[in-house]
Amino acid sequence: MNPTSNYDFTIVVPVYNEEENMDRLKEILSSYVQFSSVKSCVLFVNDGSTDNSKELMAEICRKYRHFFYLSFARNAGLSAAIKAGFDLAQSPFVGYIDADLQTTPADFELLLPHRNEYEMVMGIRIGRKDSLGKKLSSKIANGFRRMMTHDGIEDTGCPLKVLNTQYAKRIPMFTGMHRFLPALIQLQNGNVKQLGVSHYERLAGTSKFHLWNRLISPFMDCFAYRWMKKRYINYTIESSNL
C-alpha cells in the first residue's frame, strides 16, 4: 500500500542538484511535520540530479519515518517532477514547495485552514528577496499570463501551494505547465484562494532559472494554454448504474 494514504497532506518537493540544501530541507521539513495542523508527510522527487542529491534524500528517508522519495532515471523538468508527485500521492490533499527554501513550510499553516473551501490555496510572495532583474521579469510574465488566461492570479510563480489531490491528479501537465497550475485548476471549475506568505533569499545551491525559462518560454506557453482552454473537456455525471 502507498504509505502516503496514511496521511492527510503530502508535501511534494522536486529536487534537481540541491545537495547543498538537503541538510536544511531535512531539518526544516522534519520540524514542520511534527507541528503541522494535519498529519503530513514529505515526498521528494529527484529529477535526475547529477550531484549527490539522490543519495542524500534516500538517507533522509531511511532515518525519518514521514519522508519518502522517488527518483527519475534522467532529468525530465520541474513540471514532470510535480506531476509525478501529484500522481503518486494518495493523501486527500497535496502540497508543493521548492527545494531552495525561499518559502517556508511553516506557511502551509496559513493555507491549510482554507483547504476544504477551495480546490487550491496558494501563496503570494511578500517582500521578495530576489534580484531586481528576476522580480522585473516575473512581474512582466505574470502580467502577460493574467491577460492571456484571465486567471486573476497575482503570483503564479510562488511555489507554496495546497491542492485537493483529486483535482491535482486531473491537471493536464506538459513541460512548463507548472506556471499555470491555478489556471489549470480553474479549467476544472475549481476555486483558487491567494494569501500572502514569507519569502527568503536562497542560502545554498544555484537557481535553475534564467531569462529563457523565466520570461520567454512562459510567453509561448500562454498560447498553448489558450489552445487547451478552448478544447478542454469538462463534464458532470448526473447518474450511472456502474
Q: What is the pLDDT of residues 71-92, one digit of tens each?
A: 999 999 999 999 999 999 999 9
- The identity of residue 104, as a single letter, is T
Task: Say whether pLDDT at 221 is over 90.
Answer: no
| Rounded Cα distance, 181 and 160, in Å | 12
| Residue 46: CATH number of its domain | 3.90.550.10
Maximum average pLDDT range among 13-22, 146-155, 171-180, 222-231: 13-22
- In-domain check, residue 181: yes
Q: Round to whole Å and give the CA distance between 81 and 78.
A: 5
- Residue 153 falls inside a structural domain: yes
pLDDT of residue 130: 61
Q: Between the CA of residue 219 and those of 66, 96, 210, 226, 229, what are the distances in Å?
A: 38, 23, 14, 11, 16
pLDDT computed for residue 169 by the predictor: 95
Does some domain include residue 52? yes
In a domain, 51, yes or no: yes
Average pLDDT of the residues of the chain = 87
Matching residue, cell 517532477: 81
DSSP, residue by residue, 92-131: SEEEE--TT-SS-GGGHHHHGGGTTT-SEEEEEESS--S-
For the chain, the domain total comes to 1
pLDDT of residue 39: 98
E strand or H helix that includes residue 33: helix 22-35
In a domain? residue 137: yes
Q: Answer whether residue 57 is part of any domain.
A: yes
Whether 237 maps to a domain, the answer reads no
Strands 192-197 and 40-46: unpaired
Sign of CA dihedral 92, 98, 101, 102: negative
Which domain does 191 fall in, by range? Answer: 3-231
Does residue 213 carry a pLDDT above 60?
A: no
Is 239 a domain residue? Answer: no
Spatial neighbors of 236 by CB under 8 A, at least 6 apart, are none
